[in-house]
Every structure is written in C-alpha cells, then in structure tokens.
Homo-oligomer: A and B are copies of this chain.
Amino acid sequence: MAAKWIWYPDEFEVYHAWVLHTRREQYGAHYPVMWTMPLPYPQVEFSKSFHAEEDFSFRVRHTGRGFVRLDGSHPMPLDKTVHCPAGDHSVRVCIEAAGSLTSIFIDSPYLQTDGSFFVLRGSEKGDPLQSAHCHPALGAEDSPLRFPFAYRDLTPVSTEEVEDGILYDFGEETFGPVSLFGVAHPVGVFYGESREEALAGENECCVWEWVTEDKELAPRAFRFLYVRGVAQVRAREEYLDLQKKGYFRTEDARVEEVYRVCARTFHLCSREFFLDGIKRDRWVWSGDVRQSLLINAYLFGDPDIARRSILCLLPKDKVFSHVNTITDYTMYLPVMLWEHYMLHNDAEFVCRVWERLCLLMDFLHRRLDPETGFLVERAGDWVFIDWADFDMGGPLAAEQILLWHAWGAMARLAAVAGQRGEVFQERQERLKAKILSHFMDGEKGVFVDTYTTRRRHISRHAHIFAILFDFVDDATKAHFYKNVLKNDEVPPITTPYFKLYELEALCQMGDLVSAQDLIESYWGKMLDMGATTMWEQFDPAVPVPEAYAMYGGAYQKSLCHAWSAGPIYFLGRYAMGVSPTSPGWETYRVEPCLGKYKEFEGAVPTPRGNIYVTCREGEITVLSPISGGTLSVGGKEIAIPMGLPTTAKL
C-alpha cells in the first residue's frame, strides 16, 4: 500500500468548501458567501502503533504546524528525520492549523500514512476514528491544500487588437488560470463569458484584475480574455478528471449537440463540488446539487463528487441557519442522501454523516409550527421553492410536500444507519393528513398555494412535487396532469431550475414529447444564440447582449450553469428509462420510451459498468454488465441477463 496524505475524516471537504466559498469576486470586491461555513478542526492528533523489523528513519510531511513524539519522547520538530530502532513503537503527530487543513504524509519502510492511522480532535474524549484520504490518494509531492485538478493548455481561436490591448477568443467557455509574462507596466485582464462582457470595462465586466508583475492569476471562467497593456498570455483549462460514461444519440444531430453542450456545461460545473455555475457565485447550492446528483447519475456516475457535495452542505457542530439560508434547501439534504444511497449502496457514508444530518433536521424541526408540523416562515429564513409568484401569505403547499418527502427519506436513512426511524415515519404520516386537509381545494381537487389567505391561488410546484414524490395515487396524479400541468391558466414555470422538475413530472406521466420539444425550442435555440455552454436562464425572445443581463448587472447572468444540463437526466432516466430499484443497482429497471424520436442509442453508468440501450426499427436491445435488471416494454416485464444482449419488440 502506497503512503497517502491523511486527515481527519471529511475535513478535506470542509477545507476546500471554505476556500471555494470565500473565493468569489465581483466588480473588484472580494465577495465571500453569506451563509455560515464551518472550518476544519484546528487541532488533530494522528497516532499509530507499529513494528519495525530493523532500524529505520522517517520524516513527517505536513500542513499546519506541530510536533512528533516517538514512544512518549519529548516533542520533536517536524521536517527533521526521526530515527527509530527495530522493535515495537507508537508514534503521535500533533498538528494545529487555524483556518486550514491539518494533514500529514509519512513514507518509510515500516511506517506509512494510510487508513491505519487514528485521529482525534485535540483533547476530545472517546474512541479515535480512522484517518481519511481522498480518491485518488495524494502522493508525497502533492499538497492537500491544492485540490487535485487536471490541466491542459488552451489556444485561442482568434486574437484581435482592441484599443489598448488584445482580445483573445478561446472558442468556447472554459475555466482555468491565466499566466502573464513580460509585464513591465500595469496590465488589466478582463474575463468575458461573452465578447461584450470582456470589453465592458470595470463597472460592468464582472471579473477583472490589474497585474503589475509576471504571475499566474487565480483560475476563473472565461471564453474571451481582454488583456489591456503589454504581456504574453498563457491560458490553461483546470478541470476535474471525470470520465463521461453516459451518452445518448438519436437521428437528430441537434439533440446530440444539445447533449454534448450539456455534458460540457456539467463537466465545467463539476469541480471540488457541484457548483451552480463557474463565473459568478461558484457556490454550492443545495437545490442545484440535488439536480446535479441526478445528472451525474446519467453522465459520470461518480460517487466521490456526490459525497463531497453532500458533505459541503452539511453543518458540523452547530447549525446557524438553513442550508444556503433556504428552507427547502435544508429538506433536499435527506432526499439527496437517500438518492445517493440508492445509486451507490453507500451505507458507510450514510452512517458517517448521520449525526450531522440529524443536527440539521433537528434545527428544521425546531422551526416548524408545533401544532400542524408545517414549515412556516420564520424570521431570517428564505422560503424559496422557485422564483415564482406564490401566494406567500401562509405556509406553502409545495414546502409541506417536500417536507413530507424529507421525513420519509429520514426514516429510510435511519434504517440504513442502524438508528431508530419511527419518529420520522410518525411525523410523515401526521403531516400527510394535515396537508390533505389544509391545502386540498375541495372543489377543484388541486392544491392551493396556501390556505390561510383564502385566495385559492394555484401553482404548478406542489403538483409537480406530489407526482415526483408519489405523494398521491395515480388517479390524482392524472387529475393534476390534466388540470394543472396541461392547464395554460396555471402560471407557467419560468426557471430552468424548476423546469427540470416539471419535465420530469411530465415524463413520469408518459409525456416525454413535451421534454423532447423543449430540447429544440429552448436548448436548441440557446445554441442558435451562440451558446457554447448552457445558460442560467434563457428567453428566446431577448437578443444578445441584453440576454446577458441578470440581477441588476449587464453581464451577471451565468452562461455556464449546471441546472441547465437537465436533458442528460431526462433522456437517460425517461427516454432510455434506466433506473435502480434497490440500493446500488442490486435490482434495476429499463423502461424505454421513444417519444418523438425514431431511434436512439445510449448508455447509463452503474457502479459496475454501463448499461447500453438501443431502440431502433421497432426493437429494443439492452446489454448490461449486471444482474437484477427488468426490461419493461409493451406491458411485459423481461428479466435482463448479465452480459448478454436482450432484445424485445417495442
């Protein structure tokens, strides 16, 4: 076993989450996140008992400061060679680092840092934990303070002299560090997701920096670089080395192009964690992460970034507010943890974070209305769901249905973690009865936004959740589909964020075509407007550069936003129709649907390899590396054998 950099469990994620969330900049201001982020524990003791066959020596590499003791010696300086005679020994390394990560690396014949080290936080009482490392593990020359990204050189597709500098166009949106050489006088670097942004000057261009000496600048998002002044420029892309496993092809090249651009968008936003977008916030928002986890399942199938992102949203020792300050974003935590468990059968992770999850859900529970159990608006909480004109005069139906779903996830997760889950189940049952008696409009048979105002305002959101979370029976779902989802009198969903959920609900009701139509009318049109990655929001009626405006800034719209990569998910989940039906794909289901396409082929990643699905000329073929599959087609259920193609009539 090779030696690895090791740390206290989950602290690598805590550290990099802090760095990420205090890295935002805008119009020259340093713009740290507004919600409270935990820091790594500042004192950690690493220890191990070991046996040496012969005399040897070792050195401790480390982040932070501290000392090493061998067999209860006086503290010895780190970075000096420790001589150790043959025999039985114990080693203790104590490290402190205020606001940074405590970690060590030892490689020697009889002592290597790996999972066999124990860790304690300072003087904490109780059994020590086993140390942690990341995947792939970091080697001697790596620093755990630097996230292990991959890099590739970028070449501009065009350069253009503009006023007092040069405008570089790299052809498509990217993210990475820019280096300047030969700087003699101040040089301004203006980052543009669009040409217009790069040239808009300090007051409107979101991100820029003036440089007075040769240096590598912090990695940032750009397609265009406007370099004012004289310098040579080297740009690199910084990316996470993820493998795109899922794919989808159909007869329409446009769909394939949308899929490709969605995949590039999603890859750019998949970094230390799942980011919302790469230019502006670059923060980890729970609502966005939950959608990214769905998309990840059908593109990368990577459990590590999923775990990191969930960790990044969980509180540590104290809860200061809802996740991202948003009530519904707290509720997505058990939901996404359960979905992660279904994909990866990751009971170890569920057990590890159970206490932190309970800390959060206890906070949520304390802020509910004690009588109804409803989520109500408390001072300082952001009741969000979506940017929509809800009747905000009382508790929202959509919030309560999500809460019901969250309590259900808590009950199931408790069982996985070996904890008692009855309390969550009871809450869930009581809540369901209350929701139905308070929010259901007896006349129309649909949910009102809220019951306190008697305005009987109806939105799509509660009904979408009710369909997706199986909150109501099939007949009621059909009623909602007809009377809400397909009812033009109900205000439309206007954000791509919630559009994903609406499309999913439509797909679940057998209406894949609506989603397929949008690939043309929405995503396809974005490509027509010159998008090289998918935008945060899009209205085909607004031309560029006006389309780049958002949040009161001419260029504040993110042009590379994870939640706009949804087609990857609904093509994988509802066209190919592949999904796990028990944890870790022990059993799974393939229920393909062509919709308006004539044919398609694609793949969906599982922890044990890709499942390939081809629909062509009235036939479906499934090839799967795993057992437990059921092909559902034309009302029939067919067992899918492992490793052999299964073909059926469509």
Q: Which residues of A contact B (CB under 8 A)?
A: 18, 22, 26-37, 39, 41-43, 45, 65-67, 74-78, 94, 96-100, 121-126, 317-318, 320-321, 325, 378-381, 552-553
Contacts and interface: CB of A to CB of B under 8 A. Distances in A.
A121 B320 contact: yes
Nearest to A553: B74
A98 B96 contact: no
Contacts of A28: 77
Contacts of A30: 65-67, 77-78
A518 B481 CA distance: 92
A98 B39 contact: yes
Contacts of A43: 32-33, 36-37
B65 A32 contact: yes
A85 B205 CA distance: 26
22 contacts: A26-B74, A27-B75, A31-B75, A32-B43, A32-B94, A34-B123, A35-B123, A36-B122, A37-B43, A37-B122, A42-B99, A74-B553, A98-B100, A99-B100, A123-B325, A123-B380, A124-B321, A125-B321, A125-B381, A126-B379, A126-B380, A318-B318
Contacts of A318: 317-318
Given A18-B98, A99-B39, A320 B124 contact: yes
Contacts of A27: 74-76
A197 to B, nearest CB: 16
A36 B320 contact: no
Contacts of A66: 30, 32
Contact of A122 (B26, B35, B100): B35
B39 A75 contact: no
Contacts of A45: 34
Given A34-B94, A122-B320, A321-B123, A76 B42 contact: no
Nearest to A97: B99
Contacts of A97: 99
A29 B67 contact: yes
Contacts of A39: 39, 42, 98-99
Contacts of A42: 18, 37, 39, 99
Contact of A99 (B99, B126, B552, B553): B99
Given A29-B75, A35-B122, A125-B381, 10 more contacts: A26-B74, A29-B78, A32-B96, A98-B99, A98-B100, A99-B99, A99-B100, A121-B320, A124-B321, A126-B379
Contacts of A78: 29-30
B126 A77 contact: no
A553 B75 CA distance: 12
Central interface residue in A31, A34, A317, by most chain B CB within 10 Å? A31
The 4 closest A-B pairs by CB, nearest first: A99-B99, A98-B99, A36-B122, A123-B321
A60 to B, nearest CB: 12
B125 A378 contact: yes
Central interface residue in A74, A125, A378, by most chain B CB within 10 Å? A125
A32 B75 CA distance: 10
A271 to B, nearest CB: 20
A94 B45 CA distance: 33
A55 to B, nearest CB: 21
A204 to B, nearest CB: 11
Contacts of A35: 122-123
A145 to B, nearest CB: 12
Nearest to A36: B122
A321 B121 CA distance: 10
A33 B28 CA distance: 40
A97 to B, nearest CB: 7
A35 B42 CA distance: 11
Contacts of A74: 26-27, 29, 552-553
Contacts of A22: 65, 96, 98
A36 B121 contact: yes
Central interface residue in A43, A74, A78, A325, by most chain B CB within 10 Å? A43
Contacts of A67: 29-32
Given A32-B94, A36-B43, A26 B123 contact: no
B321 A77 contact: no
A379 to B, nearest CB: 7
A40 to B, nearest CB: 9
A596 B565 CA distance: 90
A91 B76 CA distance: 50
A30 B122 CA distance: 15
A195 to B, nearest CB: 23
Contacts of A31: 67, 75
Nearest to A367: B125
A552 B42 CA distance: 29
Nearest to A42: B39
Nearest to A379: B125
B76 A29 contact: yes
A31 B379 CA distance: 45
Nearest to A363: B125
